[in-house]
């Protein structure tokens, strides 16, 4: 009996050994993941962010409160379960709710007036699985808590753009909008409902439900007919309160000052109820209508989750979509961890000695693998090549007797015999 992967998931495995023709797609290749994650961490570091890791499940109620009952994610997509102890838990569908819950639980505001947090991890949504949309997907994201100035909104968008550019993804579109405050949204919602009501008969069932439960979400619809029907709907930014309008104008000004091209998208409301003021999304043509990443400001969320009134802003970006984009754009495949040396022991004495020779080299900081299989020299040299090793170290009975090794540089095929004690120094170069 063999077991398959659950629908909408995939395995991430080591890269195909060097020299093999078949290539693995970037999303399946662990070297590609490590590269993207490490670029994300290092770009975040330059903006002063520190890492946070939270549980992959939280109380179900957290997501109902934070993300919102009327959102598609909570209404249709969460993985909910009851534990043996009777607790109602949910696999996290997004990163912000858990990060804010942790900010409140750990009282981070006491140590950091402004907390700049980054996270990387899996999220779970019961969606119709397809390329770029999975049931387990991974997001890298950031949250800034304690700062309400518009320059922070621009800084966060700048961080996201810098990250994509650092990976070589240049051709991106930044879309921004403002969803105002809860109060200013109320008058917009009246206008939106008045506009949509006569058209409801022609809208999708989902949008009929949204009209009743959470009308703003109608603008999220991916249904082509809904999109066309809502084409001339009133615009949110015409209903903003003065402070939100000023905030939005300043965000746009900062983006211009930073040299980040952007578009104002009046239909952009994002799939969560917690957003206030700035909402943004980043797209790349190769992904079609699927966003590379998105985020926004949430000035009420910390308080809503039991913390002190604290403004916040963040974004999340899908790592799978980053990898798909890199591959579609033909960007070079990030290479895996290449070996410095591959040990080729010939004969029992050499095989016995190989473990401690390799151990000494590893203690000197070198990455070393060994042939464990007693293969012939030719096969061992092929293994060394496949591992991308710089050197093959050949040891036979003679070398053991004289405490030496034959070191072959694989790129040039040049070979020399040196004392074992000088091996690490030679390989380090
Ligand atoms: P969201 O949390 O819905 O705002 O999504 C943020 C980003 O996560 C999106 O722009 C995508 O890059 C990614 N994402 C969201 N849902 C999925 C999914 N089901 N599969 C793959 N990536 C996703």
> Rounded to an integer, what distance in angstroms lies between the CA atom of residue 220 and that of residue 268?
7
> Rounded to an integer, what distance in angstroms lies between the CA atom of residue 421 and that of residue 187?
79
pLDDT at residue 289 in the model? 85
Measured in angstroms, how far is the CA atom of residue 133 from the centroid of ligand 1? 7
For 292-315, what is each residue's pLDDT tens digit?
Answer: 999 999 999 999 999 999 999 999
Pocket test for ligand 1, best of 66, 93, 163, 294 (most atoms within 8 A of CB): 294
Measured in angstroms, how far is the CA atom of residue 28 from the centroid of ligand 1? 18
On whether the pTM is more than 0.75, the answer is yes
For 191-231, what is each residue's pLDDT tens digit?
Answer: 999 999 999 999 999 999 989 988 998 998 888 999 999 99
Q: Is the pLDDT of residue 335 over 90?
A: no
Least confident of 68-72, 77-81, 160-164: 68-72
Residue nearest to atom 2 of ligand 1 (CA): 94
pLDDT at residue 143 in the model? 98
Mean pLDDT of the chain: 94
pLDDT at residue 184 in the model? 87
Residue nearest to atom 12 of ligand 1 (CA): 318
Residue nearest to atom 3 of ligand 1 (CA): 271
pLDDT at residue 183 in the model? 87
Measured in angstroms, how far is the CA atom of residue 136 from the centroid of ligand 1? 10
pLDDT at residue 222 in the model? 84
Tell me what percent of the residues of the chain surpass a pLDDT of 90.
Answer: 86
Residue nearest to atom 15 of ligand 1 (CA): 318
Strand order through the sheet with 172-178 = 50-51, 115-124, 136-145, 312-318, 293-297, 278-284, 172-178, 262-264
> Rounded to an integer, what distance in angstroms lies between the CA atom of residue 95 and that of residue 272?
12
> Rounded to an integer, what distance in angstroms lies between the CA atom of residue 52 and that of residue 117?
6
pLDDT at residue 304 in the model? 94
List, chain by chain if needed, residues with CB within 6 Å of any ligand 1 atom. Answer: 94, 125, 127, 132-134, 137, 139, 270-271, 291-294, 316-318, 320-321
pLDDT at residue 337 in the model? 76
Pick the atom of ligand 1 nearest to 133's CA. Answer: 20
For 15-72, what is each residue's pLDDT tens digit?
Answer: 988 767 678 999 999 999 999 999 999 999 999 999 999 999 999 999 999 888 878 8
- Enumerate residues 6+ apart whose C-beta is below 8 A from 45: none
Q: Is the dihedral of CA 58, 62, 67, 73 positive or negative?
A: positive
pLDDT band at 273 (very low <50, low <70, confident <90, very high): confident
């Amino acid at each position: 009996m063999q077991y398959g992967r659950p629908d909408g998931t995939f395995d991430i495995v080591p890269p195909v050994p060097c020299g093999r023709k078949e290539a693995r797609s970037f999303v399946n290749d662990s070297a590609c993941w490590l590269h993207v994650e490490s670029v994300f961490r290092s770009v975040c570091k330059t903006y002063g962010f520190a890492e946070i890791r939270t549980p992959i499940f939280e109380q179900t109620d957290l997501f109902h409160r934070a993300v919102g009952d009327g959102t598609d994610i909570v209404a249709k997509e969460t993985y909910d379960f009851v534990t043996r102890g009777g607790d109602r838990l949910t696999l996290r569908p997004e990163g912000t709710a858990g990060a804010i819950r942790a900010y409140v639980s750990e009282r981070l505001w006491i140590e950091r007036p402004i907390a700049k947090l980054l996270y990387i991890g899996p999220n779970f949504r019961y969606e119709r699985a397809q390329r770029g949309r999975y049931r387990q997907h991974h997001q890298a994201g950031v949250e800034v808590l304690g700062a309400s100035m518009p320059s922070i909104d621009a800084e966060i968008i700048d961080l996201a753009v810098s990250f994509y550019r650092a990976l070589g993804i240049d051709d991106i579109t930044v879309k921004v909008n403002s969803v105002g405050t809860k109060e200013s949204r109320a008058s917009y919602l009246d206008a939106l409902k008045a506009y949509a009501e006569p058209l409801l008969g022609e809208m999708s069932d989902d949008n009929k439900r949204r009209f009743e439960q959470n009308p703003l979400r109608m603008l999220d619809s991916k249904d082509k007919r809904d999109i066309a029907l809502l084409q001339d709907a009133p615009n949110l930014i015409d209903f903003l309160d003065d402070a939100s309008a000023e905030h939005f104008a300043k965000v746009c000004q900062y983006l211009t000052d930073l040299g980040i091209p952007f578009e104002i998208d009046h239909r952009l409301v994002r799939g969560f109820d917690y957003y206030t003021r700035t909402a943004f999304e980043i797209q790349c043509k190769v992904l079609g209508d699927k966003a590379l990443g998105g985020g926004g400001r949430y000035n009420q969320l910390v308080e809503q989750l039991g913390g002190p009134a604290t403004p916040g802003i963040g974004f999340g970006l899908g790592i799978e979509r980053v990898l798909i984009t890199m591959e579609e754009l033909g960007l070079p495949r990030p290479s895996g961890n290449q070996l410095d040396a591959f040990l080729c022991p010939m004969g029992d004495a050499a095989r016995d000695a190989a473990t401690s020779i390799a151990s000494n080299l590893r203690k000197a900081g070198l990455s070393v693998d060994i042939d464990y299989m007693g293969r012939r020299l030719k096969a061992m040299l092929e293994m060394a090549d496949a591992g991308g090793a710089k050197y093959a170290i050949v040891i036979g009975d003679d070398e053991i007797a004289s405490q030496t090794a034959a070191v072959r540089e694989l790129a040039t095929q040049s070979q020399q015999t040196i004392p074992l004690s000088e091996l690490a120094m030679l390989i380090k170069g």
